[in-house]
Amino acid sequence: MRSLKLILAALATGAAFEAMTLLATRDKAVRAVSPWQDDPYDVLVSFALFAVPMLGLAIAVGLPAWRPPGGPEREQRVLRAAAALIAVVGLTLAFEWAAVAARAHARVWNGWTTALIAGLAALTLAAAGVGVALWRRWSPLATGDWLDDLPLLGRRPALIERIRARATALFAALSLFAAAGIVGAQAVGERWSDPLLIAWALLVETATLFAFCVAANATAGFIRRTRPRAETPILAGTAGLVLMTAFRDPVWTAITHRPVTSVPLLVALTVGAGLLAAAVTLVRRPA
């Protein structure tokens, strides 16, 4: 019962975070006075807006299957998924606090900004409390995964094994599908017409979601992989790509005293950083 209350607390914290994030990003009047409306802060906020409900959905699906036999292992996997959710929330809150500390867009702060900061403080306290409690319950990932608990798959072991063997391809396909929807909606909403910009955004979104799938799976054990792949270069490349996307203007301004003003330069900087990070990982990998 204690674990169930802790998981429900994590879900409630994630729901509150999602509600505040939607308000701060989708309401134009509120977004205009939000300290974290722009990069580098908005990169993580935009990612969390998608990642938090996905983890919440996975936890909600896993809860009904939490019953004997194998109850303790299921309990542990759901607790680890809740920890992943709180980790995403906590990291995003840290970026938002950084925006507040830097007084980003302070000249336009108003009552809505005060409300956002108050909500940020309340969420931080909630996430910290739940996070500490989850940390105390942390344990190594056991054998097994979530696939055996799905009613549509539980009696089809051959299909389950095929999914486990093709987990990397599944993560990549799901990431591309979700990224296409996100970027498509953004391109229509912001009236993008540059094919290079759209292709770059699709690459960044797909790589980010793929890295999220791999990291979340490693934490919560959604799919036990029977054919593990060397994905470290991909994850390192994604980290380089996303970090340069977030900090492109400060980095380029420090070098040239000018911000990034063209799409080809944006692509060259960010993709180049990702390729460099992946190459360094490959070179440093032991034989």
* Cα separation, 244 vs 239, whole angstroms: 8
Counts for the chain of helices (H) and strands (E), in that order: 10, 0
User: By C-alpha distance, which of 169, 175, 179 is closest to 202?
Assistant: 179
Residues 80-134 have pLDDT tens digits of 999 999 999 999 999 999 999 999 999 999 999 999 999 999 999 999 999 999 9
* Cα separation, 225 vs 108, whole angstroms: 50
Query: 3-state class of 34 per DSSP?
Result: coil
* Cα separation, 130 vs 132, whole angstroms: 6
Phi, psi of 39 (to 5 degrees): -70, 150
**pTM of the entire structure?**
0.86
Kindly compute the dihedral angle of the four CA atoms of residues 231, 232, 235, 236, in this order, to the nearest 10 degrees. Answer: -150
Q: To the nearest whole number, what is the mean pLDDT of the chain?
A: 87
Residue type at 206?
Answer: T
pLDDT tier at 75 (50, 70, 90 boundaries)? confident
